[in-house]
């Protein structure tokens, strides 16, 4: 998969691309990621990419020309262009699974007051990572990118994510590691039994109980 991230703040991505599972996925050539500064697509003096809103009001608005030029510089027939936007469709694991099948994603990050409305004509989808407003689309793009990359074949074992929260409309089962007794809090006996079938059933039940307790809405789907 190829991912192009269009942003005003490319340095924000340095950490995420240079650590842990994403770093390994890049090294293994499972994913190719480019961070593109749309300031380089501005023809204005000082490479300005924002301006004041028509009609007045506070904040600066990202202009269409540099953003669309940046999108068009990387877009092919196989690309899916996604706008990071609090007004977009709330992001869910199901969407991550769907996007993990794509060949090329272009993630567009807004900033300041947001985008000139006309940008919507040049994107395929709009994604919100939740009902709250962040300063920019960089953290949403990182969240979306991370959730997709971990699902790509060869990145992590399928076993490690197929029982994760949201994969079967339930939350994950509880997990424990050593020590077996921490300040009197004991690991459930069954996990020490070595009986794999009983452990499998217990986990299934626990996942259901966990979901009923914390996220009943998932079971109603
Ligand atoms: C301060 S926000 C703009 C908010 C906009 N004025 C509004 O109220 O809808 C700046 C940028 O951050 C990104 N952003 C902020 N919150 C987001 C969210 N919940 N999901 C996705 N992107 C978000 C978007 O790219 C947005 O254009």
Average pLDDT for 68-86: 98
Q: How confident is the model at residue 191 (pLDDT cuts 50, 70, 90)?
A: very high
**CB-ligand 1 contact for 13 (6 Å cutoff):** no
94 Cα to the center of ligand 1, angstroms: 22
Average pLDDT for 95-111: 98
Atom from ligand 1 closest to the CA of residue 132: 19
Smallest CA-to-CA distance from 79 within 11, 10, 5 is with 5
Q: What is the pLDDT of residue 45?
A: 93
Average pLDDT for 70-86: 98
Q: What is the pLDDT of residue 214?
A: 98
Rounded distance, CA 16 to CA 21, Å? 9
Residues 181-212 as b/e (b if ≥16 CB within 10 A, e otherwise) read eeeeeebeeebeeeeeeebeebbeebbeebbe
Is 150 labeled as catalytic in the residue annotation? yes
- What are φ and ψ of residue 17, in 5° steps? -80, -15
**pLDDT digits 0-9 by tens, 10-60:** 999 999 999 999 999 999 999 999 999 999 999 999 999 999 999 999 999
Q: What is the pLDDT of residue 160?
A: 86
Query: For a pocket test of ligand 1, which of 59, 63, 71, 84 has the largest count of ligand atoms closer than 8 A to its C-beta?
Result: 84
Q: What is the pLDDT of residue 113?
A: 95
Q: What is the pLDDT of residue 143?
A: 98
146 Cα to the center of ligand 1, angstroms: 19
Q: Domains, the chain, ranges and CATH?
A: 2-158 (3.40.1280.10), 163-219 (1.10.1270.20)
The catalytic residue among 24, 53, 65, 150 is: 150
Q: Strand 125-128 vs strand 104-108: parallel, antiparallel, or unpaired?
A: unpaired
Average pLDDT for 162-180: 95
DSSP state at residue 96? H
Q: What is the pLDDT of residue 159?
A: 86
The catalytic residue among 164, 172, 204, 209 is: 164
Average pLDDT for 171-177: 97
Q: What is the pLDDT of residue 221?
A: 75
Average pLDDT for 140-153: 98
Average pLDDT for 105-129: 98
Mean pLDDT of the chain: 97
**CB-ligand 1 contact for 39 (6 Å cutoff):** no
Is 164 labeled as catalytic in the residue annotation? yes
Rounded distance, CA 124 to CA 215, Å? 31
Is 120 labeled as catalytic in the residue annotation? no
Rounded distance, CA 191 to CA 202, Å? 9
Is 10 labeled as catalytic in the residue annotation? no
**CB-ligand 1 contact for 85 (6 Å cutoff):** yes
Q: How confident is the model at residue 99 (pLDDT cuts 50, 70, 90)?
A: very high
Rounded distance, CA 9 to CA 136, Å? 9
């Amino acid at each position: 998969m190829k991912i192009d991230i269009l942003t005003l703040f490319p340095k924000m991505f340095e950490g995420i691309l240079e650590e842990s599972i994403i770093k390994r996925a890049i090294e293994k050539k499972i994913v190719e990621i480019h961070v593109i500064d749309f300031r380089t697509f501005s023809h204005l003096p000082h490479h300005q990419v924002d301006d004041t809103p028509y009609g007045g009001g506070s904040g600066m608005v990202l202009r269409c020309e540099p953003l669309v030029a940046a999108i068009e510089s990387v877009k092919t027939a196989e690309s899916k262009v996604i706008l990071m936007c609090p007004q977009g469709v709330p992001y869910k694991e199901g969407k991550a699974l769907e996007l993990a099948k794509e060949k090329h994603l272009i993630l567009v990050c807004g900033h300041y007051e947001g985008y000139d409305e006309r940008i919507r004509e040049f994107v395929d989808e709009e994604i919100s990572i939740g009902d709250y407003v962040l300063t920019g689309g960089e953290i949403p793009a990182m969240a979306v990118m991370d959730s997709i990359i971990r699902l790509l074949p060869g990145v992590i074992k399928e076993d490690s994510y197929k029982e994760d929260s949201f994969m079967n409309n339930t939350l994950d089962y509880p997990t424990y590691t050593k020590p077996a007794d921490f300040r009197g809090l004991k690991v459930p006996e069954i996990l020490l039994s070595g009986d794999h079938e009983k452990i499998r059933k217990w986990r299934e039940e626990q996942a259901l109980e966990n979901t009923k307790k914390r996220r009943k809405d998932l079971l109603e789907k």
